[in-house]
């Protein structure tokens, strides 16, 4: 019998994975292992499929079986580290990453892959050391320079990040991502800015080029910095349109999901006694409303560990529903319809298992996944002693701050003003519902209060959380912990109020959004 070749197996498995046909992908990987047992292809891709379908132990066992025969196989060593990290075995995962780095030798791309894993593991300082090795091995590799710059930015090393972007631009002077990212590191001035270089790079690109978005966002930020608001708005519209054109997003589905969630929780049952011993702090709300700022404030408290933007809650809910595989877009409505009947204890067990390696050693921890606002009732069902801090901001200030940020498609609702307005209205309806069925349980914290009444607002926040006041919370900008959010530059500065009224420079452009919000019952002034 003639077996398919390894490339044929690889194509079939990859195609099945791309279509989320997990059973067929797993079967093809098993056939590949049977036909080519000495080659890593079937073992590695089979482990990928198992990990993606939440079969973590099986994914690890598969990769370790191949490593028993080929202990220096770099891709499998790296995958072993991924599996261990997914299992919450953090120390073992870091040791496995070190073994992968040893196997990588002087290969810059391989060392960079280890650096990417360490970044994913929120080990930015270890990732930086790995990228230092990678760049030393391949100093002209633009991707490595860009990734090291991102790690420098997360650690607050803005001058070193700029140096990496400069090195990258010396190799590729018109690189859109590097030009845009470098402009974001500091406030541009009329005497010192990158506007000319970005405009020249933009002019050199073909019309409609997808890579132009980074330049448009960089130019919008730069023109705003120097007070040329009309030019900034033109670039903002153009950049958002380019990103939106490559996204598959149906705003009506998000609205239907919100209505289904509201219908699934017409009331919330009395809280059961806590069986977890945990009182996690969930910081949620729309992006760019101060969620990172509050995380930095609380992460400066001696009793609180900032665990970052965890995906564990939605993963735990998915696991309890029983799918065991990443959600395809068509599942979103069905997923929402199942939430009302879920068991809180089961969600808590899954959530704690998935966050074990990220919760730190302090008594309390923060989960700052902003879109957890979809799940407020389930949070309290799983953790009766949880606290939810909901960040609010002036409607047009919030929407403008979202619209001017390129999230890389993470929030698909934010690239067209009409869709942004509809999502904002749905989000406000959902939060109003949570306040009705969970009276007094959720703390609304206004970004404006944080900026204008800093200490009083922080004291109110700490009182809600049951934490004693600590002066370190006032000096959040001195917190050395890494941050990878869009606010990574701002949260390392003392508080400033210049952003509160920034949206007013664009009042004409935002007028249709304003009209939609007011028609939906949102008071703008």
Segment 9-68, tens digit of pLDDT = 899 999 999 998 999 999 999 999 999 999 999 999 999 999 998 899 999 999 999 999
Alpha helix locations (H) across 328-487?
332-338, 344-355, 376-382, 395-403, 417-437, 447-452, 454-465
Are the C-beta atoms of 186 and 193 separated by less than 8 Å?
no
CA distance 232 to 185: 17
How many angstroms separate the Cα of 59 from the Cα of each of 39, 62, 420? 17, 5, 39
The residue among 356 and 426 whose pLDDT is bigger is 426
Task: Tell me if 363 is assigned to some domain.
Answer: yes
The count of C-alpha atoms lying within 13 angstroms of the C-alpha of 32, restricted to the half-sphere facing its C-beta, is 25
Task: Tell me if 138 is assigned to some domain.
Answer: no
How many angstroms separate the Cα of 153 from the Cα of each of 123, 158, 163, 481, 488? 14, 5, 11, 12, 7
Helix (H, G, I), strand (E, B) or coil at 280: coil
Task: Tell me if 465 is assigned to some domain.
Answer: yes
Give the pLDDT confidence score for residue 512 in this predicted structure.
96
Domain range for 514 is 251-269+278-493+501-519
Region 424-429 average pLDDT: 98
Give the pLDDT confidence score for residue 307 in this predicted structure.
93
Binned at pLDDT 50, 70 and 90, residue 474 comes out as confident
Task: Tell me if 235 is assigned to some domain.
Answer: no
Per-residue pLDDT at 324 exceeds 50:
no
Are the C-beta atoms of 513 and 417 separated by less than 8 Å?
yes
CA distance 295 to 148: 24
Task: Tell me if 173 is assigned to some domain.
Answer: no
Task: Tell me if 82 is assigned to some domain.
Answer: no
Burial class, 221, CB count within 10 angstroms (exposed 0-12 / middle 13-18 / buried 19+): buried
Task: Tell me if 32 is assigned to some domain.
Answer: no
Alpha helix locations (H) across 108-211?
108-120, 124-137, 142-154, 158-171, 176-184, 195-204
Region 498-520 average pLDDT: 92
CATH number (domain holding residue 427): 3.40.50.300
Beta strands in 268-407 (DSSP E): 281-284, 304-306, 364-367, 387-392
Edge-first strand order for the sheet with 442-446 is 304-306, 364-367, 281-284, 387-392, 442-446
Calculate the average pLDDT of the chain: 91
Per-residue pLDDT at 498 exceeds 80:
no
Give the pLDDT confidence score for residue 322 in this predicted structure.
78
pTM (two decimals): 0.87
Domain count, the chain: 1
- Give Cβ neighbours of residue 208 (< 8 Å, ≥ 6 apart): 242
Per-residue pLDDT at 469 exceeds 50:
yes
Residue (of 371, 373, 378, 390) closest to 351 by Cα position = 378
Per-residue pLDDT at 292 exceeds 50:
yes
Terminal Cα-to-Cα distance of the chain (whole angstroms): 75
Task: Tell me if 212 is assigned to some domain.
Answer: no
Are the C-beta atoms of 112 and 74 separated by less than 8 Å?
no
Region 340-369 average pLDDT: 93
- Give Cβ neighbours of residue 462 (< 8 Å, ≥ 6 apart): 301, 468, 469, 470, 473
Q: Computed over its alpha carbons, how large is the radius of gyration of the chain?
A: 24
User: Which pair of tokens denotes residue 101?
Assistant: 């780095």
User: Which pair of tokens denotes residue 124?
Assistant: 């930015």
CA distance 136 to 115: 13
Give the pLDDT confidence score for residue 366 in this predicted structure.
97
Q: φ and ψ at 383, to 5 degrees?
A: -130, 90
């Amino acid at each position: 019998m003639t077996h398919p070749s390894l490339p044929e197996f690889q194509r079939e498995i990859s195609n099945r994975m791309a279509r989320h046909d997990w059973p067929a992908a797993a079967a093809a990987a098993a056939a590949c292992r049977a036909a080519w047992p000495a080659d890593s292809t079937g073992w590695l891709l089979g482990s990928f499929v198992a990990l993606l379908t939440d079969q973590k132990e099986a994914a690890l066992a598969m990769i370790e079986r191949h490593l028993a025969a080929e202990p220096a196989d770099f891709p499998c060593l790296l995958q072993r580290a991924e599996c261990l990290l997914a299992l919450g075995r953090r120390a073992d995962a870091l040791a496995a990453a070190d073994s992968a780095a040893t196997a990588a030798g002087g290969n810059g791309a391989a060392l960079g892959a280890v650096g990417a894993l360490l970044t994913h593991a929120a080990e930015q300082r270890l990732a930086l050391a790995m990228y230092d090795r990678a760049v030393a091995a391949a100093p002209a590799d633009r991707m490595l320079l860009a990734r090291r710059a991102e790690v420098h930015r997360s650690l607050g090393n803005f001058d070193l990040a700029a140096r990496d972007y400069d090195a990258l631009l010396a190799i590729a002077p018109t690189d859109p991502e590097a030009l845009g990212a470098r402009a974001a590191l500091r406030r541009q001035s009329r005497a010192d800015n990158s506007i000319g270089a970005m405009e020249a790079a933009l002019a050199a690109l073909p019309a409609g080029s997808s890579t132009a978005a980074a330049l448009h966002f960089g130019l919008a930020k730069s023109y705003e910095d120097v007070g040329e608001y009309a030019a900034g708005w033109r670039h903002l519209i153009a950049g958002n349109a380019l990103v939106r054109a490559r996204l598959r997003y149906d705003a009506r589905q998000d609205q239907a999901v919100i209505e289904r969630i509201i219908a699934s929780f017409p009331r919330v049952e009395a809280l059961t006694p806590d069986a977890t011993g945990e009182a996690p702090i969930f910081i949620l709300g729309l992006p760019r409303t101060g969620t990172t700022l509050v995380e930095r404030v609380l992460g400066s408290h001696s009793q609180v560990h900032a665990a970052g933007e965890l995906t564990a809650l939605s993963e735990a809910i998915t696991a309890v529903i029983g799918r065991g595989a990443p959600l395809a877009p068509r599942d979103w409505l069905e997923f929402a319809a199942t939430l009302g009947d879920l068991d809180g204890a089961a969600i808590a067990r899954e959530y704690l298992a998935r966050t074990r390696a990220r919760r730190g050693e302090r008594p309390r921890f923060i989960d700052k996944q902003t879109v957890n606002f979809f799940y407020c009732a389930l949070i309290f069902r799983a953790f009766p002693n949880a606290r939810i801090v909901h960040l609010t901001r002036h409607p047009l200030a919030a929407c403008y701050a979202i619209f001017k940020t390129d999230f890389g498609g993470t929030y698909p609702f934010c690239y067209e003003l009409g869709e942004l307005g509809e999502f904002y209205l749905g989000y406000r309806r959902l939060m109003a519902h949570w306040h009705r069925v969970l009276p007094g349980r959720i703390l609304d914290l206004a970004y404006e209060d944080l900026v204008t009444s800093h200490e009083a607002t922080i004291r109110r926040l700490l009182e809600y959380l049951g934490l004693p006041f600590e002066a370190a919370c006032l000096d959040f900008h001195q917190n050395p912990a890494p941050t990878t959010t869009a606010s990574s530059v701002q949260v390392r500065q003392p508080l400033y109020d210049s952003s509160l009224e920034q949206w007013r420079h664009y009042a004409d452009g935002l007028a249709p959004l304003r009209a939609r919000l007011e028609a939906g019952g949102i008071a703008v002034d």
